[in-house]
Amino acid sequence: MTAMIPEGAPVETVRSIMEKDVFAARTVGCQIVEAAPGRGLCSMEVGPQHRNAMGNIMGGAIFTLADYALSIAANYGSEPTMSISCSIDFLSVSHGNVLYAEAALDKVGRTVVFGSVDITDDTGKLVARMIATCYK
């Protein structure tokens, strides 16, 4: 199998490939900031469409951003990899205007990959943390 995102691909190429993720990239508005083997950094400008009835950022929007960053980290220079289990802890309410999801692969095995994603806002607050198990 060939890599979903070729190793050494510049961020513009990664953006072009991942633009096919219509939900995360177009509907939710996730943007790729950085991409490297085992790492992904994405951002999302928070708008009214991301808010729940209480005015806070919807957990699903935060999860989507985290999952998108994880997909960059897991698929950059690697054979196609997908999440098989994820858990997310919502640690605090964000009062920022931009969220960032920084994904890192903690262990890459022959077929199983373990990763984590920290979601922060533009005030520096840690908003959530995702732990994921992936299959390649």
Extents of the domains making up the chain: 11-135
d(CA 3, CA 50): 32
Q: Which helix (H) or strand (E) holds 96?
A: none
Residue with tokens 């607050």: 125
CATH T-level fold of 11-135 = Thiol Ester Dehydrase; Chain A (3.10.129)
Quote the pTM value.
Answer: 0.95
Spatial CB neighbours of 38, under 8 Å, sequence gap ≥ 6: 73, 76, 104, 105, 108
What 8-state DSSP symbol labels residue 8? T
pLDDT in 10s for each residue of the chain, 136 residues: 556 899 899 999 999 999 999 999 999 999 999 999 999 999 999 999 999 999 999 999 999 999 999 999 999 999 999 999 999 999 999 999 999 999 999 999 999 999 999 999 999 999 999 999 999 9
Going 51 to 53 to 55 to 57, the CA torsion angle's sign is negative
